A and B are shown apart, each in its own frame.
Chain A
């Protein structure tokens, strides 16, 4: 799949980490899902066009001075295949193309809050509001109506709701990064407020307050950035060697964003790809990153160096380069002579059961005498 250097991405919610509620300030019923909504129903709704409704019920609101308020909080999670690029099938965070960079993003959840009445004459004001927070950072506060709260009065057995799409620009990358979203998930809080005004106390009156969310997703634009990397290491490396990464050019990569260096190699005994992460660096600055090679076992002829960042400048795992290794000193030679054998066999002592690796005999050579 060819991914354009510029395009649109959409972050899809793939799970609900938690739901927190603050019950109505009056009444005792509390918040509950309508019609037995399951988590999957909820996910389908916020990734699609359907709506999910949470509601609370309250009765005997017979005091015109009473004020109702309540809130719901959803913490979404993003995992597995949660990022769609240009409308394609979602892919995972690790499979994003190298150099993936978020230019900007926004979210436009549709929220609503409402009151539904039964019984006798009443009057009231309903206000819907929502907050979008990430960790302790509040990135948006929205009201149902920019011109003022929706209101209704003197109605019997009717209903009213305030619903309006809200749109906010999520401040990338200084406040939120993709990896922040993945690790924390946004805390999405809907709160509703309603009060009676000019009401007539009447024990027969009751109302039901509802809060609902129609959709939630993060949509933004991205670009693929290419950086220049340099890696400085001995011609053949071994554990304990110092490896230096530098960046330069017109648009150099900020190496302060590197969070992990992965050393990848092929296990000589099992032929499986092993990845050893290194997260402690000797030196880390905007233009230089120095670390000590560690964790590479004997018998590995070459290693590949990958780097991961905090997601601010790029995402995914980026191949930095390939380094040749030397055989470490615990390799021993052939223990018996085998006719016709065309290579040497080294035994690797720190692998149990003992593994072997074949290496070439140093340049078998025939030389004649001087002629004539």
Chain B
């Protein structure tokens, strides 16, 4: 897993996410950088209720910090998210880091 940025600065690659989510409609994941300057839109998830898998979506987002957004955009779409796993790996550090 990526090192925490507390106390040091590093750049991480956010490779994919895995969710425990149920609902109906299209769930639209998106990675956002600090201040939402950069973004990458992931392939939407078609939700079913109930589900027995935790779906995964790939991404290719390299930033110092990242924020994951999940949303629906159509009427009567609903989702319940109980677990989010974000897979990230440190790819660079900044001087005078380790």
Q: Are A371 and B88 touching (Cβ within 8 A)?
A: yes
**CB 8 Å contact bits of B25-55 with A (1 = contact, 0 = none):** 0000000101000000000000000000000
A372: contacting residue among B2, B34, B73, B75, CB under 8 A: B2
Does A360 interact with chain B (Cβ within 8 Å)?
Answer: yes
Find chain A residues with CB under 8 A from B78 CB: 340, 342, 364
Are B75 and A363 in contact, with the CB atoms below 8 A? Answer: no
Neighbouring B residues of A359 by C-beta, 8 Å: 75
Q: Roughly how many angstroms separate A198 CA and B80 CA in the complex, as a whole number?
A: 110
Across the interface, name the chain B residue whose C-beta is closest to A362: B73
Any chain B CB within 8 A of the CB of A365? yes
Measured CA separation A364–B3 after assembly (Å):
31
B2 near A367 with CB under 8 A, answer no
Find chain B residues with CB under 8 A from A361 CB: 75
Residues 60-98 of B, flagged 1 when their CB comes within 8 A of A and 0 if not, give: 000001111111111111110100101010000000000
Give the contacts of A339-354 with B (CB-CB under 8 A): 340, 342-343
B64 vs chain A, min Cβ distance (A):
9
Is A367 within 8 A of B68, CB to CB? yes
For the complex, give the distance between the alpha carbons of A291 and B25 in Å.
41
If A342-B76, A342-B78 touch, whether A371 touches B68 (CB-CB below 8 Å) is yes
Chain A neighbourhood of B71, CB < 8 A: 363-366
In the complex, the chain B residue whose C-beta lies closest to that of A344 is B75
Report A-chain residues with C-beta under 8 Å of the C-beta of B67: 367-371
Taking CB atoms, residues of chain A closer than 8 Å to B65 are: 370-371
Q: Which residues of A contact B56 (CB under 8 A)?
A: none
A interface residues, tally (CB under 8 Å): 17
Contact A342 to B86, CB < 8 A, known contacts A368-B68, A370-B67, A372-B3: no
Binary CB contact string for chain A from 182 to 197 against chain B (1 if under 8 A, 0 otherwise): 0000000000000000
Interface membership of A358, Cβ < 8 A: yes
B81 touches A342 (CB 8 A): no
Cβ-defined contact, B86 with A366, below 8 A: no
Chain A's closest residue to B90 (CB) is A372
Q: How many residues of B contact A (CB 8 A)?
A: 27
Are A367 and B74 in contact (CB-based, < 8 A)? no
Chain B CB within 10 A, most for which of A359, A361, A370, A371: A371
Shortest CB–CB separation between residue B97 and chain A, in angstroms?
14
Contact A371 to B86, CB < 8 A, known contacts A365-B69, A366-B69, A366-B70: yes
Task: Give Cα distance in the complex from A342 to B72, angstroms.
Answer: 11
Residues of A within 8 A of B2 (CB): 372
Asked if B69 and A367 make an inter-chain contact with CB atoms under 8 angstroms apart, the answer reads: yes
**Cα of A213 to Cα of B89 in the assembled complex, Å:** 97
Question: Separation in Å of the A333 CB from the closest CB of chain B?
Answer: 15
A371 to B90, CA, bound (A): 12
Contact A372 B1 (CB under 8 A): yes
Taking CB atoms, residues of chain A closer than 8 Å to B77 are: 342, 360, 364
| A372 lies within 8 A of B70 (CB) | no
Q: Are B81 and A372 in contact (CB under 8 A)?
A: no
Q: Known contacts A358-B75, A360-B74, A366-B71; decide if A372 and B84 are in contact (CB<8 Å).
A: no
CB-CB < 8 A to B73: which residues of A? 360, 363
Q: How far is the CB of A134 from chain B (nearest CB, A)?
A: 55
Closest CB in chain B relative to A239 CB, distance in Å = 25
Asked if A370 contacts B69 (CB within 8 A), the reply is no
Residue of A nearest to B66 (CB): A371
A371 proximity list for chain B (CB < 8 A): 65-68, 86, 88
B contacts, CB < 8 Å to A = 1-5, 12, 32, 34, 65-79, 81, 84, 86, 88
27 contacts between A and B (CB under 8 A): A342-B75, A342-B76, A343-B76, A359-B75, A360-B74, A360-B77, A363-B72, A363-B73, A364-B72, A365-B70, A366-B79, A367-B68, A367-B69, A368-B67, A368-B68, A368-B84, A368-B86, A370-B65, A370-B66, A371-B66, A371-B68, A371-B86, A372-B1, A372-B3, A372-B4, A372-B12, A372-B88
* 5 smallest beta-carbon distances between A and B, as pairs: A360-B75, A365-B71, A370-B65, A366-B70, A342-B76
